[in-house]
A and B are shown apart, each in its own frame.
Chain A
Amino acid sequence: MTKILIKGARVVDPANNFDSIADVTIVGSRIVEVGKVPQGFKADRTINADRLLLLPGIIDLCARLREPGEEQKATIASETTAAATAGITGLVCPPDTWPVVDTPAMANMIRDRAEANGQSRVYPLGALTVGLEGEKLTDMAMLLDAGCVGVSNGLKAVSNTLVMRRAMQYASTYDIPVFLTPQDPWLLGNGVVHEGKVSTRLGLPAIPEAAETVGVARDLALIETSGARAHVNLISCGRSVTMLGEAQSHNLPVSASVAIHQLLLCEDDIGAFDTRYKVFPPLRTAADRQALFEGVRTGTVSVICSDHQPHGADAKLAPFSEAAAGIAGVDTLLALTLSLTVNKQLPLSTAVAALTCNPARVIGVDRGHLSVGANADLCLVDPTEEWILNDESMQSRGQNSPFMGKQFFGKTHMTMIEGEVIFQDADRFPG
Chain B
Amino acid sequence: MVPSDSKIQFDQQGRLRHFLTINGLPKETLVQILDTAESFISFGQREIRKVPLLRGKTVVNLFFEPSTRTRTTFEIAAKRLSADVINLSAARLSTTKGESILDTVRTLEAMHTDLFVVRDSASGASHLIASHLPEHVRVINAGDGRHAHPTQAMLDMFTIRREKGGFKGLKVAIIGDVLHSRVARSQIHALSTLGVDEIRLIGPRTLIPTEVETMGVSVTSDMVEGLSGIDVVMMLRLQRERMDGQLVPSEQEYFNRYGLTDDKLSYANPDAIVMHPGPINRGLEIASSVADGAHSVILSQVTNGIAVRMSIMATLMGGQEDT
Q: Do A and B bind each other?
A: yes
Contact A318 B128 (CB under 8 A): yes
CB–CB B100/A320 < 8 A: no
Number of chain B residues whose Cβ lies closer than 8 Å to a Cβ of chain A: 33
List residues of A whose CB falls within 8 A of some B CB: 195-197, 199-204, 206, 208, 271-273, 314-315, 317-322, 324
Report if A200-B211 is in contact (Cβ < 8 Å); known contacts: A271-B4, A315-B96, A318-B96: yes
Given A200-B215, A272-B8, A315-B96, 7 other A-B residues pairs in contact with their CB atoms under 8 A = A200-B209, A201-B23, A202-B124, A272-B6, A272-B7, A317-B132, A318-B100
In this assembly, does B146 line the interface, its C-beta being within 8 Å of a C-beta of chain A? Answer: yes
Q: Which residue of A lies closest to B9 (CB)?
A: A272
Also in contact, A204 and B123, with CB within 8 A (given A272-B4, A272-B7, A272-B8): yes
- Most chain A Cβ neighbours within 10 Å, of B7, B102, B145, B182: B145
B182 and A203 contacting across the interface, CB-CB below 8 Å: yes
Q: A200 — which chain B residues lie within 8 A by C-beta?
A: 209-212, 214-215
Q: Are B102 and A317 in contact (CB under 8 A)?
A: yes
Other-chain residue from B4, B102, B123, B210 in contact with A320 (beta carbon distance below 8 A): B123
Contact between B94 and A322, CB atoms less than 8 A apart: yes
Task: State whether A201 and B215 are in contact (beta carbons under 8 Å apart), knowing that A272-B7, A319-B101, A319-B120 are contacts in the complex.
Answer: yes
Once A318-B101, A318-B128, A319-B120 are accepted as A-B contacts, the answer to whether A203 and B4 lie under 8 Å apart by CB is no
Partner among A201, A206, A322 whose Cβ is within 8 Å of the Cβ of B122: A322
CB distance from A110 to the nearest CB of B (A): 24
Report the Cα distance A201→B210, complex, angstroms: 10
Which residue on chain A has the smallest CB distance to residue B146? A203
A317 is contacted by which of B100, B127, B209, B214 (Cβ under 8 Å)? Answer: B100
- Nearest Cβ on chain B to A188's Cβ, whole angstroms: 15
Number of inter-chain CB pairs below 8 Å: 85
Which residue from chain A places its CB closest to the CB of B181 in the assembled complex?
A203
Q: Which residue of A lies closest to B121 (CB)?
A: A319
15 pairs, A vs B, C-beta closer than 8 Å: A197-B210, A197-B211, A200-B211, A203-B144, A203-B145, A203-B147, A204-B124, A271-B5, A272-B6, A272-B8, A318-B102, A318-B128, A319-B123, A319-B144, A322-B96
Query: Which of A195, A203, A314, A315 lies in contact with B210, CB distance below 8 A?
Result: A195
Q: How far is the CB of A319 from chain B (nearest CB, A)?
A: 3
> Which residue from chain B places its CB closest to the CB of A195 in the assembled complex?
B210
Determine whether the beta carbon of B123 is less than 8 Å from that of A273. Answer: yes
Contact with A along B174-186 (1 / 0, CB 8 A): 0000000010010
B146 CB contacts on chain A under 8 angstroms: 203-204
Scoring B95, B124, B212 by chain A CB atoms within 10 A of each residue's CB, the highest score goes to B124
